[in-house]
């Protein structure tokens, strides 16, 4: 009897093969609404984990340091290209928005997965939805991407308000900003899915120490990628870090006075990273749920 139940739960081929696009979209909408309801109940925790780290960094490096005469960077060194608008605060703000978006996307997807794949196997409730398992995985990515975009919208005005240094931001390229933000959000959700399906639930805390922290400090968050030319080997190695392209893309859209990677390179790398991480995440999700 139990074998029959498992077979029906894992491979409801008749139901899923006949599901229309309208039914699929309705199911995805239902999954997203369920997650949004949970987010509303935990909105305080969402704000805390979203703004705590960026605000701490901008408070120390862009508020305290300038007031005690120890501003980091400035001039040509900070901007990678010089100019009055290339100060450290200008470099820092887009980087902090980038790390907030990516960190929130990872947290929104990977942490719930660690619970759903745990001893309670809550994931079984989700895969009973009348859609393919891959669609359930993509719904998780979309929800993580939505939280990532919300984190960016929350963090940007806050870090601008706290910073005591001159921050030169321009919105001359709004289309580029939108494209980079959407790609960054999808990247964050896909990265959360890939990590959440491959890290043992009991080791989820270790993931932040061994993966998220290195991504942050080597992600061109606190310095432009061009400034790493002085350490050439490191400048090449960090090209494997997708956060580098998020940081550089946001700087290209918001701080034209700072030297960044060429925009086509940034967009191409972000698109490729989203595709690779989506494939890895969906494959891992299917393997963990129906294998």
> What does the pLDDT look like over 46-96, one tens digit per residue?
677 667 777 777 777 767 776 776 555 544 344 444 433 457 778 888 998
Is residue 130 a contact partner of residue 16, using CB atoms and an 8 Å limit?
yes
Distances (CA, A) of 177 to 170, 171, 252, 255, 260: 11, 8, 8, 11, 14
Is residue 240 a contact partner of residue 153, using CB atoms and an 8 Å limit?
no
Who contacts 224 (Cβ-Cβ below 8 Å, separation ≥6)? 78, 79, 80, 91, 248, 251, 258, 259, 260
State the residue for tokens 């700072």: 258
Q: What is the DSSP letter of 119?
A: T
pLDDT at 241: 95
**Listed residue (95, 59, 109) closest to 217, CA to CA:** 95
Residue 113: what are its φ and ψ, rounded to 5°? Answer: -65, -35
**Listed residue (271, 219, 211) closest to 247, CA to CA:** 219
Is residue 66 a contact partner of residue 165, using CB atoms and an 8 Å limit?
yes
pLDDT at 125: 56
Domain boundaries of the chain, sorted by first residue = 2-290
pLDDT at 181: 96
**Listed residue (63, 133, 147, 84) closest to 283, CA to CA:** 133
Q: Percent helix, strand and coil across the chain, each rounded to 5?
A: 80, 0, 20
- pTM flag (> 0.85): no
* Cα(70)–Cα(75) distance, integer angstroms: 14
Q: What is the mean pLDDT of each run of 10 residues along the chain (291 residues)?
A: 41 46 61 65 70 73 69 46 57 89 87 70 57 80 89 84 74 92 95 86 74 87 90 94 96 89 96 95 84 58
pLDDT at 18: 44
* Cα(48)–Cα(251) distance, integer angstroms: 25
């Amino acid at each position: 009897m139990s074998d029959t139940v498992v077979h029906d739960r894992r491979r409801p081929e008749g139901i899923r093969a006949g599901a229309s696009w309208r039914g699929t979209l309705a199911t995805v909408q239902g999954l997203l609404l369920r997650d949004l309801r949970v987010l509303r109940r935990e909105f305080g925790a969402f704000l805390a984990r979203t703004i705590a780290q960026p605000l701490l960094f901008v408070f120390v490096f862009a508020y305290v340091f300038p007031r005690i005469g120890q501003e980091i960077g400035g001039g040509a060194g900070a901007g990678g290209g010089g100019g009055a608008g290339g100060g450290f605060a200008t470099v820092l703000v887009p980087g902090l928005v980038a790390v907030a978006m990516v960190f929130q996307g990872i947290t929104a997807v990977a942490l719930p997965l660690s619970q759903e794949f745990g001893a309670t196997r809550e994931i079984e409730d989700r895969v009973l939805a009348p859609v393919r398992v891959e669609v359930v995985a993509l719904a998780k990515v979309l929800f993580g991407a939505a939280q990532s975009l919300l984190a960016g919208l929350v963090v940007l005005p806050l870090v601008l308000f706290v910073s005591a240094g001159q921050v030169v931001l321009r919105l001359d390229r709004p289309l580029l900003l939108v494209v980079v933000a959407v790609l960054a959000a999808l990247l964050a959700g896909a990265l959360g899915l890939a990590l959440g399906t491959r890290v043992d639930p009991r080791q989820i805390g270790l993931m932040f120490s061994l993966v998220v922290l290195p991504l942050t400090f080597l992600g061109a968050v606190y310095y432009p990628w061009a400034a790493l030319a002085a350490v050439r080997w490191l400048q090449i190695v960090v090209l494997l870090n997708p956060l580098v392209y998020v940081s550089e893309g946001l700087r290209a859209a918001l701080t034209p006075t700072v030297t960044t990677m060429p925009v086509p390179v940034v967009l191409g790398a972000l698109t490729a990273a989203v595709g690779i991480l989506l494939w890895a995440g969906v494959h891992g999700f299917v393997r963990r749920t129906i294998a």
